[in-house]
Structure 1
Amino acid sequence: MVYSQRSPGSRRLLLLLLLLTALESGSGHVHYSIPEEVKHGTFVGRIAQDLGLELVELVPRLFRVSSKGYRDLLEVNLQNGILFVNSRIDREELCGRNAECSIHLEVIVDRPLQVFHVEVEVKDINDNPPRFLRREQRLFILESRIVDSRFPLEGASDMDVGANAELKYKLNPNEYFDLDVKTNEEETNILELVLKKALDREETQEHLLLLTAVDGGKPELTGTVQLLISVLDANDNAPKFDKSVYNIRLLENAPNGTLVIKLNASDADDGINKEIVYLFSNLVLDNVRSKFIIDSNSGEITVKGELDYEDCNLYEINIDAVDRSSFPLTGHCKVIVKLLDENDNTPEMVITSISLPVQEDASLGTVIALISLSDRDSGPNGQVTCFLTPHVPFKLVSTFKNYYSLVLDSALDRESVANYELLVTARDGGSPSLSATASVSVEVADVNDNAPTFAQAEYTVFVKENNPPGCHIFTVSARDADAQENALVSYSLVERRVGERALSSYVSVHAESGKVYALQPLDHEELELLQFQVSARDAGVPPLGSNVTLQVFVLDENDNAPALLPLPGAGGAGGAVSELVWRSVGAGHVVAKVRAVDADSGYNAWLSYELQPAAGGARSPFRVALYTGEISTTRSLDEADSPRQRLLVLVRDHGEPALTATATVLLSLVESGQAPKASSRVLAGAAGAETALVDVNVYLIIAICAVSSLLVLTLLLYVALRCSAPPSEGACGPGKPTLVCSSAVGSWSYSQQRRQRVCSGEGPPKTDLMAFSPGHPPCPLVGDTSQHQDLNDDHCAKCRKRNSREFAL
């Protein structure tokens, strides 16, 4: 349950005071309170409203909350400015048994920078039951003990505080024992078991009682322990101490061997029954035994281990005085040792930088860093003050208890001083006082006035098609003359459409390294040139940037096998072509033709035809033209030739490795004038198809001539315009030098000279010129594919000599 103790009038007055304080020093203080163990999302307070901040400015002003050691317990909803509980809050885990428990929050906003302090008090709830250290307490009592004899018991502890930790005890009803509870000056309970009826060991040897502790919470919680009492025979008088409780004050860090107290007990018996031995009670915990030791004969308690007020400031020691009789009697007392704090802890300082480095045009009052002070000591020993080395343009402003802000006090001049080394000193109020120092380096920074620049305005990149997805194809690099964040360059694509798809589906650029990756395999048959821009932008405020153009040419690979074109008459199994051939034809007569195409370009699309040898090694009277695919006779046909000829034609491209396809041609040899009627129909159909094919070829030749004429006229007009106009640079400028390559069957050249880009289109027109010259060795390439590639003089001279013998395909 969240509650506020401010009335509406006092709330408005407090809000006004907070606003005035924020205007003067840039800080404020708001107090909330919540119970522990509330659910996630529990409302704490309208923190933005209480600090005088508008909801619409929380995000632009970078509203943020930090807390030392309590990072995820509380959170702020930036939409409505409400502070809510983010995770489980356990008061005992946060503050232990301390009476006060608060979570301190630092609220920071920018533009202008302000720091507010918020305290959220965590109220205790009764969530911890009383607990006894042991499940069972065992006592040995002589049957001769008189009525009203008292026996100390170990009490319970409760992790809660206040009323929730106020314990009451009750003993189950019985006829022999009562419970007596007293409170000493240290507000701790002293439990004693009081004998109210004489014991008779012969009647009852053991008594089993139940001791219950009840706390003061609502609802109340309980804890129990069993008391097992054994009745013994022995002495009449037990040893007695002067006091039942001894209170001792002892300085922390007391050296080993320091006397705490000398106990003295007396026994009214005589002889051996009067001799007393002093022992730690079995109620004494191990941590007490590790700090103190008792002399069994003298009763002196001395320091054994290191005493630290900050670890534990109160020790309760139960002492037993036992006589030496055969049936010993025991006297009991308690020694309470309270430690006094000494100034043995130096102040601790945590410096959190806010605005480093500082711009030289920063306004006065700019917060540079936050300083948090702490001291483990208590009282004046734990009160810390902070001061700064003199003669610097900075000062310390106290914003809250043990919190300071380092702020700008006078104007900065980077040209005079570029860096300040500040010394911050924290000193406590002890006597003698202890201090701690910390250095703060304040760098004066410049503004962002340089944009990233590329070495070139445009790069040409060559990439083979069918690249693996994600392969690296190029690296762009830009330099920025600024320093630190202003020189931190990041790269990104300038998005555009490539046909029907976005550019980002083809390539990506790594934001930090500038490496350009192809996201998918590129297909030369689909995309020959991919032109795009990469943007380089620095991290300054405001950021500056520039662009570079990349032209990625996709080089062809032999990834498409030749494809056979359907011909009239193909209808047999496997797409075989059937033809009738007169036996009277002479040598060189064309009887059929195989046609194929290849989707690749250059050498990869240059096809050759081969006739596979006939089965049995018989020599065929037919041959196939190497580059046209025409099947013709090698001699006159005679009676010895089989009437049915099956020819297997292998179509091969010139890629590396070469890809192939096969075509089957079935030839039927017939005598003149003796063909059957069905064969006549086939011949007529074949003749008609041949006539139709001749007509198509005529049309194709006419269309090719027209297109070639138009291309020649366009080139002549372009050359005339280029010669008459002065040279100009721009998006449609001249291309790059010629790239000449070769293979085992000839050479091909790809020319960009005199290339004119279509500025309004999505990409440049295809300007491939392919030339083949069989039988020449390869011409090697010179240069880097990422730059313009040139040929050396020797290489070009050899290639020019070969080109004189080339023929165009």
Structure 2
Amino acid sequence: VILSRIGLLLSLLLFAFWEAGSGQLHYSVPEEAKHGTFVGHIAQDLGLELAELVPRLFRVASKSRLDLLEVNLQNGILFVNSRIDREELCGRSAECSIHLEVIVDSPMQVFHVEVEVKDINDNPPVFPATQKNLFISETRALDSHFSLEGASDADIGTNALLTYRLSPNEYFSLKVPTNDEQVKPLELVLKKPLDREVASEVLLVLKATDGGKPELTGMVEILITVLDVNDNAPVFDKAVYHVKLLENARNGTLVIRLNASDLDEGANSHILYFFETDISPNIEATFCIDSDSGEIKVNGKIDFEETKLWKIQIKAIDKGNPPMFGHCTILIEVLDINDNAPELVITSLSLAVREDAPLGTVIALISVTDPDSSANGRVTCTLTPHVPFKLVSTFKNYYSLVLDSTLDRESISHYELVVTARDGGSPSLSATASVSVEVADVNDNAPVFPQPEYTVFVKENNLPGCHIFTVSAQDADTQENAQVSYSLVERRVGERALSSYVSVHAESGKVYALQPLDHEELELLQFQVSARDSGVPPLGSNVTLQVFVLDENDNAPELLAPRAGSMVGAVTEVVSRSLGAGHVVAKVRAVDADSGYNAWLSYELQPAAGSARSPFRVGLYTGEISTTRALDEADVLRQRLLVLVKDHGEPALTATATVLVSLVESNQAPKVSSRALASAVGPQGALVDVNVYLIIAICAVSSLLVLTLLLYTALRCSAPPSEGACGPGKPRLVCSSAVGSWSYSQQRRQRVCSGEGPPKADLMAFSPSLPPCLNSAGGTVQREADSEHLKEVNLYLRILFYRVFWPVLLLFV
């Protein structure tokens, strides 16, 4: 029961420590632990379920070696994976820990775990050498002190607390410095005068024992050679010298000038200075000593980050015979300067970031180190300004790069971020690192056509399957989100489906006419083409095509019967010989199924072979046959007139009408027609009637003109018709050259429709469409609205002239 209560109390303490540590776990493990040694229930302590470790991509990142510790994803236990040597990992640092970053996804979480490596007593004390030789004069006074280099232990704490024991002898005792005098060396103290004649050499064993359990020992043999005569050794001013030296001091910089004195005289008082024979090779490579002056100077690289304190043993030797020795210790404290720039390590968590990623998404982990100390080692990180990302500090010198604002791949698809780390030194040093962030596309852009509507002109009688136009839509997305396919928006055109007239290639957007088009049957075909991308869900848009079928001269003039029951192409007229010049005796009527110039007919009278000049002529555009002179007895009683009816197409098509004229005496002539009667009334009566008709015609034409202008103004001021409605909506003109060509319809107003609604009349428009032409300056043909307005006014006036004025004038002429 007591154990369970203690366990519950420890759990509560661990939970409180977890809350206070802001997401940091702390474990400890002894060094040299075997593989598989339990460290802690990391998944349980982090509040993670075992079943979600693999789905959430549970992983461990470490700044140091990743193979020291491992997590079993089956039970969530952190265990030792390979040998941990605290001395190799942290040296003689009092604190040694391994920092782990635990990362899980969905949602992204980062936890910090510190595993403290506990020291064990696995290193015995080690002396600089296994044997030390001392030369001591036999005249040396009692209580003389002889410095010895102590042992060193790579462990820390109690495991490195050394005690010394000298082998039993009658001449020397060992003086060990107290805790406050750790910098002082060990000393042999002479407690009995030496006598070279009794003992020329004394062999001692010095043993060092650490405070570990079990304790480890090291030893050195001290061979003392007893010298004769010169009985005063050199003596330094101080036993220990303290010196401060800036790192990166140049070679030749003076560290200290030593001064030792000898009470002897002559050669026995002449002192030389040397490093101790068992000194470290690093000291000999970094410093040099002048044996005569005792000056110690810098001879190598002084680096605070490598060595913060140098301990140098110096000996002073006189020139006596035998020589005598004095010893001192120099402690050189290296002062730090800001000579190390921060170091950045960036770990990217994803290759690309979706443009619809939520704010706060973690992009990368950043760790910063600076081996300098104090303010020189305090680092702050900043990010390139004006980017949709920010740095969030998660732990000391650890940052997360997260999304701070929305992304748009179509605006910027790639970011090159620069992270700058700057220390607090004076002057400060900085380091930069680049982070490449790719923005992944999502389907948020529909295909877009350059313009909402195209006008296409196709000549009738085209070949089946001919290419008439190409639609093209652009999608700002990439890859499959930008793969556009085209299709027709199916509808009915009269009694038939749209797909029986045209088709569109799904990939290229080319529009084909599936059958020959007939201007006389269909003047305007209006339909829509849909563009859809391949994204999920797909997006699309439509474009409207107005296909105008241009007329070709494929219909010859057709003759109309002059009266009911008569034969087409043959007219028989009875004319009185008493008629004078200018009297209309007959009229040839013909129509043409084409439109425009192709339907504009002219009439010519063909001369009969072998006959004299005919007394008749035909009106060029009216088809009226009238007398050119007064008829006389010499004229043939029966005359055969051939009238050639010709249109204005290229090439022109013709038809021939035969008019048989029989000349009779005036008392035998049949009842004249109203026109002949008008002629008989007399020139003045006919003239009055013509004037009345002309006045009526002019009034009618003027009324039509005013009505047309009012209608045009209303159409210009009104809103454009809705999509799919029929009407005279303003189509977008497409030109095929810098000038373009105009065509118009003169024959009739045919009903055309693009869907439901009122019909459209055929209008004047540019010839076959291509994308809007560029002028020589690179602008479009429609760059000036005023010019376009004048063109459209001219267009409507021409239509009005050919559709209204011209037929009326021809009628009354």
- TM normalised by structure 1 equals 0.53
Deviations along 1:237-270, one digit per CA (max 9) or x if unpaired, are 1111111111111111111111111111111122
2:13 to 3, 10, 13: 10
1:284-433 → structure 2 map (5 Å cutoff): 284-433=279-428
Q: Which residue of 1 aligns with 2:171?
A: 176
2:52 to 57, 68, 77: 57
Q: CA deviation at 1:97?
A: 0.6
Q: Which residue of 2 aligns with 1:280?
A: 275
Cα pair distance change 1:366/1:432, threshold 3 Å: same
Cα pair distance change 1:357/1:325, threshold 3 Å: same
Q: CA deviation at 1:9?
A: 2.8
Q: CA deviation at 1:66?
A: 1.4
1:444-593 → structure 2 map (5 Å cutoff): 444-447=439-442
Q: Aligned partners of 2:324 and 2:8: how far apart in 1?
A: 58
Q: Which residue of 1 aligns with 2:194?
A: 199
2:98 to 100, 103, 112: 103
Corresponding residue SS for 2:176: strand
Letter in 1 for 2:125: P
1:218 to 213, 216, 234: 213
- Asked if 2 retains the 8 angstrom alpha-carbon contact of 1:234 and 1:328, the reply is no
* Structure 1 segments unaligned to the other structure (5+ residues): 22-27, 450-480, 488-539, 543-809
Letter in 1 for 2:376: N
Q: CA deviation at 1:486?
A: 11
Q: CA deviation at 1:327?
A: 2.0
| Residue 241 (str. 1) matches residue 236 (str. 2) | yes
Q: CA deviation at 1:415?
A: 1.6
Letter in 1 for 2:234: P
- Further displaced range: 322-331 or 250-259: 322-331
Q: CA deviation at 1:356?
A: 2.6
Q: CA deviation at 1:192?
A: 0.9
| Residue 142 (str. 1) matches residue 137 (str. 2) | yes
- Asked if 2 retains the 8 angstrom alpha-carbon contact of 1:153 and 1:191, the reply is yes
1:60-79 → structure 2 map (5 Å cutoff): 60-79=55-74
Cα pair distance change 1:6/1:282, threshold 3 Å: farther
- Asked if 2 retains the 8 angstrom alpha-carbon contact of 1:211 and 1:226, the reply is yes
- Asked if 2 retains the 8 angstrom alpha-carbon contact of 1:132 and 1:156, the reply is yes
Corresponding residue SS for 1:249: strand
Letter in 2 for 1:330: F
Corresponding residue SS for 2:192: coil
Deviations along 1:260-317, one digit per CA (max 9) or x if unpaired, are 1111111112222222112222132221111111112211111111111112222221
Q: Which residue of 2 aligns with 1:258?
A: 253
Higher Cα radius of gyration: 2
- Asked if 1 retains the 8 angstrom alpha-carbon contact of 2:38 and 2:78, the reply is yes
Q: Aligned partners of 1:384 and 1:229: how far apart in 2?
A: 55
Deviations along 1:588-646, one digit per CA (max 9) or x if unpaired, are xxxxxxxxxxxxxxxxxxxxxxxxxxxxxxxxxxxxxxxxxxxxxxxxxxxxxxxxxxx
Deviations along 1:714-766, one digit per CA (max 9) or x if unpaired, are xxxxxxxxxxxxxxxxxxxxxxxxxxxxxxxxxxxxxxxxxxxxxxxxxxxxx
Corresponding residue SS for 1:223: strand
| Residue 116 (str. 1) matches residue 111 (str. 2) | yes
Q: CA deviation at 1:99?
A: 0.6
| Residue 164 (str. 1) matches residue 167 (str. 2) | no
Cα pair distance change 1:85/1:6, threshold 3 Å: farther
Q: Aligned partners of 2:435 and 2:269: how far apart in 1?
A: 71
Q: Aligned partners of 2:275 and 2:362: how far apart in 1?
A: 59
1:649-668 → structure 2 map (5 Å cutoff): none
Q: CA deviation at 1:13?
A: 3.0
1:190 to 185, 188, 194: 185
What count of residue pairs does the alignment treat as equivalent? 450
Q: Which residue of 1 aligns with 2:665?
A: none
Q: CA deviation at 1:236?
A: 2.1
Q: Aligned partners of 2:295 and 2:416: how far apart in 1?
A: 57
Q: Which residue of 2 aligns with 1:739?
A: none
- Asked if 2 retains the 8 angstrom alpha-carbon contact of 1:183 and 1:190, the reply is no
Q: Which residue of 2 aligns with 1:94?
A: 89
Cα pair distance change 1:265/1:188, threshold 3 Å: closer
Corresponding residue SS for 2:83: coil
Cα pair distance change 1:113/1:279, threshold 3 Å: same
Cα pair distance change 1:282/1:483, threshold 3 Å: farther
Q: CA deviation at 1:4?
A: 11
Letter in 2 for 1:9: L
Letter in 1 for 2:108: L
Q: Which residue of 2 aligns with 1:231?
A: 226
Corresponding residue SS for 2:158: helix
Q: Aligned partners of 2:222 and 2:480: how far apart in 1?
A: 72
Q: CA deviation at 1:447?
A: 4.6
Q: Aligned partners of 2:83 and 2:427: how far apart in 1?
A: 42
Letter in 2 for 1:350: V
1:43 to 26, 38, 43: 38
Q: Aligned partners of 1:98 and 1:121: how far apart in 2?
A: 12
- Further displaced range: 297-306 or 3-12: 3-12
1:742-761 → structure 2 map (5 Å cutoff): none
Cα pair distance change 1:378/1:183, threshold 3 Å: farther
Letter in 2 for 1:12: F
Deviations along 1:671-706, one digit per CA (max 9) or x if unpaired, are xxxxxxxxxxxxxxxxxxxxxxxxxxxxxxxxxxxx
Letter in 1 for 2:13: S
- Asked if 2 retains the 8 angstrom alpha-carbon contact of 1:4 and 1:32, the reply is no
Q: CA deviation at 1:153?
A: 1.0
Deviations along 1:112-170, one digit per CA (max 9) or x if unpaired, are 11111111010101111101121111111111111111111121111101111111111
Cα pair distance change 1:4/1:99, threshold 3 Å: farther
- Asked if 2 retains the 8 angstrom alpha-carbon contact of 1:427 and 1:433, the reply is yes
- Asked if 2 retains the 8 angstrom alpha-carbon contact of 1:234 and 1:329, the reply is no
Q: Aligned partners of 1:310 and 1:257: how far apart in 2?
A: 21
Q: CA deviation at 1:42?
A: 1.3
Q: CA deviation at 1:326?
A: 2.5
Cα pair distance change 1:29/1:483, threshold 3 Å: farther
- TM normalised by structure 2 equals 0.53
Q: CA deviation at 1:16?
A: 5.0
Q: Aligned partners of 1:484 and 1:120: how far apart in 2?
A: 47
Q: Aligned partners of 1:213 and 1:85: how far apart in 2?
A: 33
Q: Which residue of 2 aligns with 1:765?
A: none
Q: Aligned partners of 1:352 and 1:49: how far apart in 2?
A: 26
Q: Aligned partners of 2:8 and 2:89: how far apart in 1?
A: 24
1:734-773 → structure 2 map (5 Å cutoff): none
Q: Aligned partners of 2:288 and 2:408: how far apart in 1?
A: 67
Q: Aligned partners of 2:8 and 2:34: how far apart in 1?
A: 22
Q: Aligned partners of 1:112 and 1:43: how far apart in 2?
A: 28
Q: Aligned partners of 2:273 and 2:350: how far apart in 1?
A: 65
Q: CA deviation at 1:175?
A: 0.4
Q: CA deviation at 1:15?
A: 4.4
Q: Which residue of 2 aligns with 1:440?
A: 435
Q: Which residue of 1 aligns with 2:466?
A: none
Letter in 1 for 2:193: A
Corresponding residue SS for 1:9: helix
